[in-house]
Amino acid sequence: MTIQYETATTLPPEPQFTELIGLLAAVFTNQTPDAIRDDLLAAANYPVLLVQLACSANRIIGCKLGYEREPGLFYSWLGCVDSNFRGQGIAAELMRQQHDWCRAQGYKTVQTKTYNQWRSMLLLNIRSGFAIVETEPGRYGLKIVLEKSL
C-alpha cells in the first residue's frame, strides 16, 4: 500500500472536503458532521492554517490540522487516522511533517489538547516529545494540554 502525504495552507476542495468531514466524523463520534463542517469553515479564516492529508488509493485515510495561535506558537488542532489504517505509523508521520513545517516557518512551540479517552494520541504525543503542561475544563471533561519545544 502506497501512502501519499499532502500539505496545504487551505482546506481541500470538494469532494475531498466532504471526505475529510466524513473521516473526522467517523473518528470523533461525539460531533456531528455539520458541527465538524462548521468548525473547519471557521478555521479557514485563521491567518495561518495547515492541513495535512494522508491518502491511499485516492482516499483520505488520515489528517492533521493546525493553526497559529500566536506568533511562535502553533496549535495542533485535529488529527486522526481511519481505523482500518492504524498501527502503520501514519499519525506519527503526519506529526513529523507538521513539526518540520512549523520549524521551517519559525515556530518555537507546538501545543495540543486532548482528552484521556484518546489514549493512543496522548501516548503518541508523549513519545514524540510533548510534555503535559496543564489541564483545563473542556466540553467533554478534563482536557490535557501538552506542549513541545521545536
What gap in Å lies between CA 114 and CA 33, rounded to an integer? 20
Q: What is the SS3 assignment for 14?
A: coil
Percent of the chain exceeding pLDDT 90 equals 92
51 in Cβ contact with 63 (< 8 Å) = yes
Cell numbers at residue 80, please? 486522526
Q: What is the pLDDT of residue 139?
A: 86
For 3-50, the pLDDT digits (tens) are 999 999 999 999 999 999 999 999 999 899 999 999 999 999 999 999
Backbone φ, ψ for residue 107 (5° rounding): -70, 145
pTM of the predicted model as reported, rounded to 2 decimal places: 0.93
What gap in Å lies between CA 141 and CA 138, rounded to an integer? 5
Q: What is the SS3 assignment for 57?
A: coil
Which whole-number Å values give the CA distances from 97 to 16, 18, 22, 63, in the listed order?
20, 23, 23, 11
Going by their DSSP bridges, the two strands 73-81 and 109-115 should be labelled as parallel
What gap in Å lies between CA 35 and CA 75, rounded to an integer? 20
Domain segments of the chain as ranges: 4-149
**Under CATH, what is the fold of the domain 4-149?**
Aminopeptidase (3.40.630)
